[in-house]
Structure 1
Amino acid sequence: MNYQDKPKPRFFYGWIVVACCFICCFSYGLFYTLGVFFTTLRSEFGWSSALTSSIHSLHLLVFIPSTFLMGWLGDKYGPRLPIILGAIFFGIGFSLLSKVNSLSQFYLFYAIASLGAGIIWSLPTATVQKWFIKNSGLALGIVVAGVGAAEMVFPPLAEHLISSYGWRTAYIQMGVGVAVLLLIASLGATTLERKGLQPYGTESLTQQEMVRKALSEVSWSRSEALRNKTLWLICAFYFCSVLPIHMLAIHLVPFAESIGIERAIAARLWILVGGMSILGRVFAPTFVEGTIGWRKGLIIVTAILALSFFWLSMIVSLRMLLVFAVIYGFFYGGKVPLIPGLIRSYFGTKSLGQLIGIVHAISLIGGAIGPFLAGYIVDVTGIYVVAFLIGAGFLALAAFLVWLSKAPKEVV
């Protein structure tokens, strides 16, 4: 029976998948809390800023193989199995952090937790885009808004738990809580094929429109895309743009403390960043998809982020930092969904999960460098000015690289 002959369901199951993928992205908030734990860990164990920052760098290096592992499992078995594994790794890893007495132990247990991180980006963004033709930008924006919601919730939650129960208990409570959320999400995560459904929006297309869409849809294999310079320009762009993003993810709270802001207030800056990030994540893909396009949208938001980092290097008060948080949060959030959207528009959905995984894995190398670099600079100079200026330079380079990444010509 042709899919157009099937009765249209009252509620499209893909929105359940969107909610499950949202939870996957939300779970990344666990790793955004390191900045809140930063001064406590440094004080208790006597670690330098560079050594403490290296914990996040290690996380991102473990994130790389995890991305490929979870992506492969998702392609082969669907999203449910990798989400369950992610829940197990998060729960065990973060619970064990409560027992550490040395940096090597912290590295080991944080690495265990990081093995689950592959469910956070490539898996949910690839999964949800396969469920939607109509409203794909909105669905993608909602999913990646999970990270923005996590930025609002986890840093202030971590600060509260540390103040109330101590940092060791805080890690147990957050790790177990997120593991339970992910296990719930795994119950609803599945594929179109297993539900016997077509992507959202196909029921409104005529047969002629479907043929025309199929003919116009690009369909690159992984090997074809890897031989095209556009993919590598996107990789270079993502590397350069992620380096300063992760630099700030770990050092925003320590920087705020360094200019005289209390940790409790500094941690709550993430509520503002995360809230504006959610607006950016939902608005940007919905707006650019039908207007200026994914590439031009990325150029604009990345250029504004470069300017915001340049301004950050001059900030000396809470009021200025609040204004920065609003601007940075919105455009940083807006950048996030535009990247998988650009990859899909250039290379199609045939190998989308694998291509997003490759691009993301390379970007994580930049993300691993950023926090350690900032920590080292602070150890040497005692201030963050040079680190933030370097971040601005990388973002400016990223904007130029995405400008160079024109739509590739498909291999015939």
Structure 2
Amino acid sequence: MREPRKERFPALLVVGVLLLAFGLMWNARGSFSLLYLAFQREYGWSPGLSTLGYAFSWLAVIFLTPIAAAWVDKAGPRRAVVMGLGCTALLYGALALVREVWHYVLAFGVLQAMAQALVATGSTAYLARRFPRRRGSAIGGMAVGYSLGPVLILPVLGWTMGALGLRSALVLMVLPPFLLLPLVALLDPPPAPQARQAGAPVGALREAVGTLAFWSLAVLYVSGVVAYNIVLVHQAAAAEGLGSTASWIVMALTGSFAHSALGSLAGGSLSDRIGRVPVWLGGSLLSALAVGLLALVPPGAGGGPLAAYAVLLGLGTGARLALLGTLAADLYAGPAFGRIYGVLQAIGAIGGAVGPLVAGFLRETSGSYQVPFLVAGLAYLISGLAVLPLRRGLK
């Protein structure tokens, strides 16, 4: 009779370590608003040049994620997270050494894309195997890392940049991912993946792309990423257009990230109890209501609508972030999970590249942020409804 696995580390510690890994990786993208201004001041670059690295990173995600995620299947999720943290440390070190625009574009574009693919796919695969019965709770706990950067790391980066300068601050940012490497390496190896996940429609990428479930997930991902990036890039400017003060906007957006952490924890845990579909639909509806509220509130309405927007969006986004990897893991947590999830992330990244550009164009042609945010609300609803064809294969 096979003996049960003996784990050296408790579940809370495992999720906490991967939460930190995820937060440090995502902070490279989440801190871009600070880096955007710092590059202009340090090097005299124009706003357009300063955004090239961010834009190129989304293109790199589209092409590099399937390659990096396939490596997760071969080397294992734990090694992938270690490699992703190494890419994160190298990214900050490389940014500290840039002298020309093309240095920055290659460093941010390639290294950030590789870090994102390896850490996101590796962490999700690890937790999906380690906690098959509490997958939503575990991945939801890790998803708190999305909020960790803006709430905790971003203020520290801003302070060190002001006190020590851009280059010294970036050098210091090398240390956190580097110091976390041994903790990830010491985690217990995850259980081996099943040859074919019980109840899953397919067991390999070639089979997956021929199914309705795969393309439903693809629509769910790309429409959700379009909405998320429209909001992420333009929400501060939209709130300012309503007459909100800068300090109130900062407080509201910080509160939104804090509620996102709460939404990730609650959404992941609830999905293990009542199912993925109602939680995903609920999170999508809250997100759509939030952006619709911001779009339809007239200028001068005061801070109340912005506060309501921040709470609704935070809870809705958090619940959705907790389930992004969980939905794919429920269907494809077998030996080909990395390849399948990598292609889905690459498809979703198209929305990251297109969403802010479309919103900017609509803002210029309509003269307000009402139309872009209504488009974002519609995209959230489409993303929510796209889960319905998957309900038979999900928990």
TM-score exceeds 0.5: yes
Q: 1:232 aligns with which of 199, 211, 215?
A: 215
Q: Please list, as runs of the form range in 1=range in 2, the aligned pairs for 1:5-404 lying within 5 A after superposition.
A: 9=6, 15-27=12-24, 28-41=26-39, 44-48=44-48, 52-100=50-98, 103-114=101-112, 115-174=114-173, 176-193=174-191, 217-218=199-200, 220-222=202-204, 223-256=206-239, 266-267=249-250, 269-291=252-274, 293-314=275-296, 316=299, 317-378=302-363, 383-404=368-389
Shift of residue 133 of structure 1? 3.1
- 353-362 vs 226-235, which moves further: 353-362
Distance 1:267 1:167 in 2: 22
**Deviation string, structure 1 residues 155-190 (Cα, Å, up to 9, x no partner):** 33333334333444433333x134324423432245
Structure 2 letter corresponding to 1:74: V
Q: Is the 8 A contact 1:301 1:332 kept in 2?
A: yes
Distance 1:391 1:373 in 2: 10
Distance 1:248 1:158, change over 3 A: farther
Structure 2 letter corresponding to 1:81: R
* Structure 1 unaligned spans of 5+: 200-213
Distance 1:93 1:149, change over 3 A: closer
Which residue is 1:210 aligned to?
A: none
Shift of residue 240 of structure 1? 0.3
Q: Is the 8 A contact 1:236 1:398 kept in 2?
A: yes
Distance 1:69 1:215 in 2: 22
Distance 2:375 2:37 in 1: 23
Q: Is the 8 A contact 1:234 1:359 kept in 2?
A: yes
Shift of residue 334 of structure 1? 0.2
* Structure 2 unaligned spans of 5+: none
* SS of match in other structure, 1:192: coil
Which residue is 1:202 aligned to?
A: none
Structure 1 letter corresponding to 2:134: N
**Deviation string, structure 1 residues 175-230 (Cα, Å, up to 9, x no partner):** x1343244234322452359xxx99xxxxxxxxxxxxxx99643621232221112
**Deviation string, structure 1 residues 83-125 (Cα, Å, up to 9, x no partner):** 3332332223223324545543331221243122212322211
Shift of residue 313 of structure 1? 2.3
Q: Is the 8 A contact 2:85 2:119 kept in 1?
A: no
* SS of match in other structure, 2:89: helix
Distance 1:328 1:355, change over 3 A: same
**Deviation string, structure 1 residues 287-338 (Cα, Å, up to 9, x no partner):** 12222x2123212211221221122224555543233222111110101122
Structure 2 letter corresponding to 1:89: C
Shift of residue 22 of structure 1? 1.6
* RMSD (CA atoms): 3.3
Instruction: Give the TM-score normalised by structure 1.
Output: 0.80
Distance 1:171 1:218, change over 3 A: same
**Deviation string, structure 1 residues 123-163 (Cα, Å, up to 9, x no partner):** 21111110123332221211122222223223333333343
* SS of match in other structure, 2:144: helix
Distance 1:63 1:189, change over 3 A: farther
Distance 1:217 1:66, change over 3 A: same
Distance 2:381 2:391 in 1: 18
Distance 2:347 2:243 in 1: 36
* SS of match in other structure, 1:134: coil
Distance 1:178 1:162, change over 3 A: same
**Deviation string, structure 1 residues 223-250 (Cα, Å, up to 9, x no partner):** 3222111210110111001112123333
Q: Is the 8 A contact 2:197 2:334 kept in 1?
A: no
Structure 2 letter corresponding to 1:330: L
Structure 1 letter corresponding to 2:285: A
Distance 1:24 1:173 in 2: 16
Distance 2:132 2:248 in 1: 42
Q: Is the 8 A contact 1:57 1:371 kept in 2?
A: no
